[in-house]
Amino acid sequence: MEFYYGVDMGGTTIKMGRFDREGTLLEKWEIPTRKEDGGKHIFDDIAEAILTRTAAAGGSVDSIKAVGIDIPGTIWEDGYLELSVNVGLKDIYPTEELSRRLNHVPVACGNDASIAALGEYWKGGGAGHRSMVLITLGTGVGGGIVLDGKVIAGAHGIGGEIGHLPVRFGEQEVCNCGNRGCLEQVSSATGIVRETKRTLVSSDQPSSLREIRNLTAKDVLDAAKAGDALAKSVMDTVTHYLGVAMGIVSNIVDPEVFVIGGGVSAAGQDLIEWIREAYDANMYMTKKRADVQLAQLGNDAGIYGSVRLVLPE
């Protein structure tokens, strides 16, 4: 029996999957992320879960062939994790921590956004393409780049940080990163709500959104799809800056396809059409351009991407 595990570490839960050597998902589950004590229990918990599930499936320690893991933080090229604010880990080599708790099986590690991109490239919205850029529109804007099957993590762990491309000049508010005018400030779920509130204040245009007390990005997307002109004008702004960023990414790595994921992408095909238009309007160098697709794996992208790091070719 040969099992491969994919582990997707988040701030609240750790998602885990058991796979066979062909990459078929055999079972998946999650455990809570114990962030207390500087995250010192996290690797014990992961190792214990893997050992338990292996035994329950009738396997032994020798059945555990390899484990891939992603972490929300900057992983250096040599595997060093400087800091993961979300899970409380710092100053460790995650692969060593996990490997020595699992009879020294091979372990590989990557940044969560990059590894989600690898998952989508392999089994999701990027399948069948040679190069792909994932853009996740959630609380923030994340990104991951996969070229010829390889994640572009970067020499200092900031490859694919698309959320922090400077696209909106004149923005006065400061982004979490310290800059002003980052893509994340306008095209994340948070950004959509902020942009809507600004527009509601600055205009007298009637809108169904004026009735809603705790406005969410979903409210704005629903209203825009239903034909609310103010909501649509907000989404025009949101997708315009996304289109600028996609034009920039195309002029640097020029992928075959962009895959759009994250909570905002639940808006579906309407959103994809708006994004395609905005991207087209921001491509000047060639008439040939990348396709734009929805992500397909949802919350499973991380376990698929993680296990892909360690599966045999």
| 127 forms part of the interface with a copy of itself (CB under 8 A) | no
Q: CA-to-CA distance for 158 and 219, rounded, in angstroms?
A: 32
Q: CA-to-CA distance for 51 and 60, rounded, in angstroms?
A: 8
**Which residue number, 119 or 157, has a Cβ lying nearer to a copy of itself?**
157
Q: CA-to-CA distance for 177 and 164, rounded, in angstroms?
A: 8
Chosen residue from 141, 290, 303, 310 binding a copy of itself by CB under 8 A:
290
**Which residue number, 104 or 287, has a Cβ lying nearer to a copy of itself?**
287
Distances in Å between the alpha carbon of 298 and those of 9, 71, 116, 119?
15, 17, 9, 10
Q: Rule CB under 8 A: which of 58-97 touch a copy of itself? A: 74, 77
| 190 forms part of the interface with a copy of itself (CB under 8 A) | no
Q: Rule CB under 8 A: which of 143-182 touch a copy of itself? A: 145, 147-148, 150, 152-162, 164-166, 169-170, 175, 177-179
**Which residue number, 56 or 285, has a Cβ lying nearer to a copy of itself?**
285
**Which residue number, 205 or 251, has a Cβ lying nearer to a copy of itself?**
251
Q: Which residues contact 211 (CB under 8 A, 6 or more apart)?
A: none
Q: Among 64-72, 86-94, 99-107, 284-292, which window interacts with a copy of itself (CB under 8 A)?
A: 284-292
Interface mask toward a copy of itself for 228-247; x: CB under 8 A: ----------------x--x
Q: CA-to-CA distance for 156 and 76, rounded, in angstroms?
A: 6
Residues contacting a copy of itself: total by CB under 8 A? 46
Q: Rule CB under 8 A: which of 255-274 touch a copy of itself? A: 255-256
Total Cβ atoms within 10 A of residue 264: 24
Side-chain half-sphere exposure of 247, counting CA atoms within 13 A = 20
Chosen residue from 203, 251, 270, 298 binding a copy of itself by CB under 8 A:
251
What's the closest the beta carbon of residue 213 comes to a copy of itself, in angstroms?
A: 34
Q: CA-to-CA distance for 272 and 76, rounded, in angstroms?
A: 33
What's the closest the beta carbon of residue 265 comes to a copy of itself, in angstroms?
A: 21
Q: CA-to-CA distance for 234 and 186, rounded, in angstroms?
A: 10
Q: CA-to-CA distance for 289 and 280, rounded, in angstroms?
A: 8
Q: Do residues 84 and 90 lie in contact, with contact meaning Cβ atoms separated by under 8 Å?
A: yes
Q: CA-to-CA distance for 216 and 205, rounded, in angstroms?
A: 19
**Which residue number, 156 or 210, has a Cβ lying nearer to a copy of itself?**
156
Instruction: Please state the φ and ψ torsions of residue 158, each to the nearest 5 degrees.
Output: -115, 15
Q: Among 103-111, 232-240, 253-261, 269-277, which window interacts with a copy of itself (CB under 8 A)?
A: 253-261
Which one-letter amino acid corresponds to residue 167? Answer: V
| 249 forms part of the interface with a copy of itself (CB under 8 A) | yes
Site residues (vs a copy of itself, CB under 8 A): 74, 77, 130-131, 145, 147-148, 150, 152-162, 164-166, 169-170, 175, 177-179, 244, 247-256, 282, 284-286, 288-290
